Amino acid sequence: MNEQLTLQDIYRARQRIAGLTLRTPLVRSESLSRRWNCEAWLKLDCLQPTGAFKLRGAVNALLGLDAAQRRRGVVTMSTGNFGRALAYAGQHLGIPVKVCISRLVPQNKVEALRQSGAELVIHGEAQDEADVEARRLRDEQGLAYVSPFDDPLVIAGQGTCGLEIMEEQPDIDMLFAGLSGGGLIAGIGLAVKSINPRAEVIGVSMNQGAAMLESLAAGHPLQVPEVASLADSLGGGIGLDNAWSFAMTQRYMDRGYKVDEAQIARAMLHFLREEKLLVEGAAAVGVAAVEQHQLDLSGRRVAFVVSGQNLSTATFAEACRLAGERPYENL
164, 26 Cβ separation under 8 angstroms: yes
pTM: 0.95
331 has a pLDDT exceeding 80:
no
Q: Which of 130, 145, 160 marks a domain boundary?
A: 145
pLDDT for the residue 127: 85
Q: pLDDT tens digits, residue range 42-79?
A: 999 999 999 999 999 999 999 999 999 999 999 999 98
Q: Rounded to a whole number, what is the distance in angstroms from the first to the last CA of the chain?
A: 47
Rounded Cα gap, residues 36 and 86, in angstroms? 37
Structural domain containing residue 133:
54-145
Q: pLDDT tens digits, residue range 183-214?
A: 999 999 999 999 999 999 999 999 999 999 99
Same domain? 24 vs 70: no
Same domain? 124 vs 267: no
Same domain? 200 vs 225: yes
pLDDT grade for 110, boundaries at 50, 70 and 90: confident
Over residues 248-252, the mean pLDDT reads 98
Rounded Cα gap, residues 158 and 186, in angstroms? 8
Same domain? 314 vs 167: yes
240, 221 Cβ separation under 8 angstroms: yes
Same domain? 202 vs 299: yes
pLDDT grade for 325, boundaries at 50, 70 and 90: confident
Q: pLDDT tens digits, residue range 11-50?
A: 999 999 999 999 999 999 999 999 999 999 999 999 999 9
Same domain? 255 vs 281: yes
Same domain? 288 vs 159: yes
Angle formed at CA 157 by CA 155 and CA 162, multiple of 5 degrees = 90
36, 289 Cβ separation under 8 angstroms: no
**Number of domains making up the chain:** 2
Q: For the domain that residue 288 is a member of, what is the CATH number? A: 3.40.50.1100
